[in-house]
Structure 1
Amino acid sequence: MRFIFVRHGKTHFNEINLTQGWCDSPLSKVGIRQVENISKQLEQYQIDKAYTSPLGRAVQTANIILSKKRIEPIYEERFKEVNFGILEGISTELVRKLNIESPDWLEDLDMDYRPYEGEDIHDVISKHHKALQKIIQVSSDDDTILIVGHGCSLYGFIKSLLPQQSFKFPNNATAMIVDYVDETFSLKKVLDPMI
């Protein structure tokens, strides 16, 4: 089984540095170009099924990627981004000054927004795992499955699937090709939108 994990394209919130979790903004012009670029790179891969976070920016990304395929994405609530609570929609610089995340969160995954009416990243990763297990149960060994998600949650989730492999935080519209064989995940390729 093969998974293609894609982070959504750049949004208007990204461009003006606002914290974006469950709050939403559409893809920007740059974001649309990023997704169109990654979509061209993904044409070489057969996609048998597709799942996406129900947030608009992820749905928009999935729809662009699937525009030439005869597949409709399935909305999966558990693939949503971390909820940043009352800090959503405010400056990312201000949020950083609050020191909510550990300075080394990319390694230790210490990110807990529960005191701000949000979520802990480990709870979000757990939701992703439950969704993935359901997908594995209903899929064939030779299926290629597209999953469109978000930066923090997707990074943490893939890091939990690949604890021995190192990779960078995915840029907007980055695709990570991950194979699943004999109950083991392995990173095969990272495709960058190059915009």
Structure 2
Amino acid sequence: MSRVELYFIRHGETEWNKEGRLQGWLNSELTENGRDQVKALQQELQHIKFNAVYSSPLQRAVETANILVGETARIKLDDRLREIHLGSWQGRKIADIWEEDYDRYFAYCNKPQCYKPDSGESFLQVSARMTDLLMDCSNKYKEGKILFITHAVAIRALLLNVLGLECDRIWNIEEIDGASVTKLVVENNQITVQYIGKIINNHNVIEI
């Protein structure tokens, strides 16, 4: 018998989230609201003893991890947890991209199976690296609880494989807001999703 609980956390709200600017692999600091979101989540998770903590190396994820864990030495950075690389869109406002690269951004939002990045990653590439991480951790840990700090599209891409969905369903997965928790359980080599996008709102737990 083996059972491992995997907690995938999206980072808190960032300055670029507020500005409507795409981040990808670029860095943006958490807002005060973002830090408050993560502090509220920390209160919710503080009773859980995590056997290991992994984080995307991007600044917003590392800042979130530091608030949640408080012990930088415990945090293992893993490139596979990065957000989707958005090529030439990174750092640009969504409104400008809609105007200047309409067809491709329409595909990204509405026909993800047809989206072709100019110099970044496809959804399936992100899904492959996130699944590779999941398999590594499933083999390494046979019991306990593991914490991952990552990004919204990265979590959605992982869930495509876990739920057996085609790429065109990536935006049909429940909303994954700032400082939300998506929990998977690996038990006897079977993976189940316990919840997606669990958030803290005024200190009340809401399951979406």
2:189 pairs with 1:183:
yes
* Residue identity opposite 1:194 in structure 2: N
Partner of 2:84: 82
Post-superposition Cα deviations, 1:116-152, rounded to whole Å, max 9, x if no partner, equal x11111101101111222222221x221000111111
Q: Which has the higher strand share?
A: 2
The letter of the residue matching 1:138 is: K
1:26–1:57: 8 Å Cα contact kept in structure 2? yes
Which protein has the larger Cα radius of gyration, Structure 1 or Structure 2? 2
- Matches of 1:145 and 1:111, distance apart in 2: 34
Kept in 1, the 8 Å contact 2:13–2:35? The answer is yes
Q: 1:12 aligns to what?
A: 15
Quick check: 1:171 aligned with 2:177? yes
Conserved? CA contact 2:130–2:157, under 8 Å: no
Structure 2, unaligned runs of 5 or more: 166-171, 203-208
Q: How does 1:132-143 map to 2 (within 5 A)?
A: 132-139=134-141, 141-143=142-144
Match runs of 1:80-159 below 5 Å? 80-97=82-99, 98-100=102-104, 101-104=107-110, 109-110=112-113, 112-115=115-118, 117-139=119-141, 141-159=142-160
Query: Is the 8 Å Cα contact of residues 162 and 185 (structure 1) preserved in structure 2?
Result: no
1:193 and 2:200 equivalent?
yes
Task: Report the AA paired with residue 52 of structure 2.
Answer: K
- Please list every run of 5 or more consecutive structure 1 residues that lacks an aligned counterpart in the other structure: none
Query: What's the C-alpha RMSD, in Å, of the aligned pairs?
Result: 2.2
Q: Percent identity?
A: 21
So what's the TM-score if we normalise by structure 1? 0.87
The structure where helix makes up a greater share of residues is 2
Partner residue in 2 for 1:43: 46
Equivalent in the alignment of 2:163: 162
C-alpha distance 111-71 of structure 1, shift in aligned 2 (>3 A) = farther
Alignment TM-score, normalising by the size of structure 2:
0.82
CA distance in structure 1 between the partners assigned to 2:173 and 2:147 by the alignment? 19
User: How far does residue 114 in structure 1 lie from its aligned partner after superposition?
Assistant: 2.3
